[in-house]
């Protein structure tokens, strides 16, 4: 009888795949670490469960592969990224349609569940020095055709269909030389040191709170919505539906300003990720 009870507990918690801990992953940049920690602390607070953190897994396909294989149980992802990189479908400009597309596609192909969006859209941001933006007719990507730019990009922006390829198809921007590929954490330093003139960054980057930089407006909407959500293995939710409930409490609770401020506290003030998330959750009624 004791053996049977142990087996039932194992099945209930993990499908006998692990020791009972919920394993949360993330990709390898600050915002992903913050969102992974957000999921971890929310589950620890609301469900009092053991959580293992497997952060810094790498890029999109590495994190997705770990989820499909069951090496992790959930991780934060963005709708536009999932559409273009994983599903290889044309991104929709409508946030609700993009969410439905990834929700249905992941469920049918991978048995993975997309939970409701957290509340912010972390789209690509083409960032320039503010002094250069002021010289344009207006701070838009259409106006950027007035001059040549030395471009700095991360590897994914260079290779993804929703990245540089989409930008070039929509806007008549003239590049000086070939794009310089670099770690995303180095883009702003390269702009400051005038090694590049424009960087393919993200709209919630901490540095965009600094008046030194300006994100040129995507006035023709070439980039699809990148609403942040948690993606979870359906097998886990079948045994622990309360995980969807606990994480669902975060739906529309993370604004773009809040995400940028959390990024800033880590990147600029060098505060620990865990402390930043603890402080954020304490501002929400759901954490009490």
Listed residues 154, 184, 216: the one ending a domain = 216
Please tell me the distance from the alpha carbon of residue 79 to that of residue 69, in angstroms, as a whole number: 21
β-strands 213-216, 124-129: how paired? antiparallel
If pLDDT is split at 50, 70 and 90, which confidence band does 214 have?
A: very high
Exposure class string for 168-177: b at 16+ Cβ within 10 A, else e: eebbebeeee
203 and 179, same domain (yes or no): yes
Give domain status of residue 178, yes or no.
yes
128 and 84, same domain (yes or no): no
Please tell me the distance from the alpha carbon of residue 254 to that of residue 39, in angstroms, as a whole number: 12
- Segments forming the whole domain that contains residue 39: 2-121+226-287
17 and 102, same domain (yes or no): yes
pLDDT value at 236 more than 80: yes
8 and 103, same domain (yes or no): yes
What is the total count of domains within the chain?
2
Give domain status of residue 221, yes or no.
no
Query: What is the CATH number for 50?
Result: 3.40.190.10
The confidence score (pLDDT) of residue 176 equals 97
Listed residues 161, 196, 216: the one ending a domain = 216
Check residue 84 and report its DSSP letter.
I
Mean pLDDT, the chain, whole residue set? 91
- In angstroms, the first-to-last Cα distance of the chain is 39
For 10-67, write each residue's pLDDT tens digit.
Answer: 444 444 445 589 999 999 999 999 999 999 999 999 999 999 999 999 889 999 999 9
Please tell me the distance from the alpha carbon of residue 232 to that of residue 59, in angstroms, as a whole number: 17
Listed residues 168, 186, 216: the one ending a domain = 216
21 and 70, same domain (yes or no): yes
For 190-201, write each residue's pLDDT tens digit.
Answer: 999 999 999 999
Tell me the mean pLDDT in the region 130-138. Answer: 98
């Amino acid at each position: 009888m004791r053996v049977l009870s142990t087996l039932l507990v194992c099945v209930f918690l993990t499908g006998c795949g692990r020791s009972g801990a919920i394993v949360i992953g993330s990709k390898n940049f600050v915002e992903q670490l913050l969102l992974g920690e957000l999921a971890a602390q929310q589950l620890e607070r609301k469900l009092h469960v053991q959580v293992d953190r497997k952060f810094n897994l790498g890029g999109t396909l590495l994190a997705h592969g770990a989820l499909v294989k069951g090496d992790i149980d959930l991780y934060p992802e963005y709708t536009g990224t999932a559409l273009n990189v994983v599903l290889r479908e044309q991104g929709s400009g409508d946030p609700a349609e993009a969410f439905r597309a990834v929700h249905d596609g992941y469920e049918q192909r991978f048995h993975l569940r997309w939970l409701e969006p957290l509340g912010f859209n972390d789209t690509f941001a083409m960032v320039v020095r503010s002094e250069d933006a002021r010289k344009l007719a207006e701070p838009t990507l259409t106006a950027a055709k007035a001059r040549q730019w030395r471009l700095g990009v991360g590897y994914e922006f260079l290779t993804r269909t929703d990245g540089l390829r989409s930008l070039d198809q929509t806007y008549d921007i003239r590049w000086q030389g070939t794009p310089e590929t670099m770690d995303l954490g180095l883009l702003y330093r390269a702009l400051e040191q005038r090694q590049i003139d424009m960087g393919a960054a993200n709209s919630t980057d901490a540095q965009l709170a600094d008046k030194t930089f300006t994100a040129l407006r995507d006035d023709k909407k070439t980039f699809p919505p990148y609403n942040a959500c948690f993606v979870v293995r359906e097998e886990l939710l079948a045994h622990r539906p309360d995980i969807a409930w606990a994480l669902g409490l975060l739906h529309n609770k993370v604004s773009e300003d809040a995400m940028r401020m959390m990024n800033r506290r880590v990147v600029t003030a060098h505060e620990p990720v865990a402390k930043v998330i603890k402080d954020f959750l304490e501002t929400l009624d759901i954490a009490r």
